[in-house]
Amino acid sequence: MTYLVVAVIGLTLLCVLNLVFTYGVVRRLREHGDVLAAGVNRGAGPGPLLAVGEFVGEFSAFTTEGEPIDRDSLVGRTTIAFFSTDCDSCHEQLPVFVDWAAGRSDGSTGLLAVVEGARANAADMVAALRPVARVVTVTDPAAGITTAFRVRAFPSFFHVEDGVVRGSTLDAADLAHTFAA
């Protein structure tokens, strides 16, 4: 009988201890949820891409061929693609973009590709993009063209007419529908 009493008391203490730990975990989860919600609300401003109808910010850059590019040079219809050398999705979507760009009737005149990352790491991407688009390499994402388009997600694709965004997507598969030539 003594063993039974000790076992019941031991199990009761174990259950109470389990409840205390569970209460602590639930309390911490609520605290983290509040912190995450506050962070989301604080960053609830503009999305990861410029919205349709917004003007592209001021920038100036040079293509890999030495051609100067700035906001004023985005005359007519231009599609701009942003890729990063550190982005797995960029490497997956690069062939889709290249195939889409190669099938366009206006050639590379209305296409601009921006490759962010160290120039040594960007060589393969630049080589794939150069036959179908003008290419700009960016080593500092906080300055220049990446900031002008407010790119916070890679890859990003924009359709611009005379400096105004007319369409944007994060998926190269959407290019044929969103940016019909």
pLDDT tens per residue, range 26-69: 888 888 777 666 554 444 445 667 788 888 888 888 888 989 98
pTM higher than the cut 0.75 = no
How many H helices and E strands in the chain? Answer: 5, 7
pLDDT at 178 over 70: no
DSSP letters spanning 14-53: HHHHHHHHHHHHHHHHHHHHHHHHHHHHHT-SS-SSPPTT
- Residues 99 and 84: their CA atoms lie apart, in Å, by 18
Average pLDDT for 66-80: 87
Show Cβ contacts of residue 101 under 8 Å, excluding neighbours closer than 6 positions: 79, 108, 111, 132, 133
The reported pLDDT for the residue numbered 25 is 85
Measured on CA atoms in the order 107, 83, 60, 169, is the torsion positive or negative? positive
Enter the DSSP assignment of 132: T
* In the chain, % of residues over pLDDT 90: 19
Residue 59 dihedral angles phi and psi, to the nearest 5°:
-160, 165
φ, ψ dihedrals at 77, nearest 5°: -90, 125
Q: What is the mean pLDDT of the segment spanning 98-118?
A: 78
The mean pLDDT value of the chain amounts to 82
- The pLDDT value recorded for residue 180 is 54
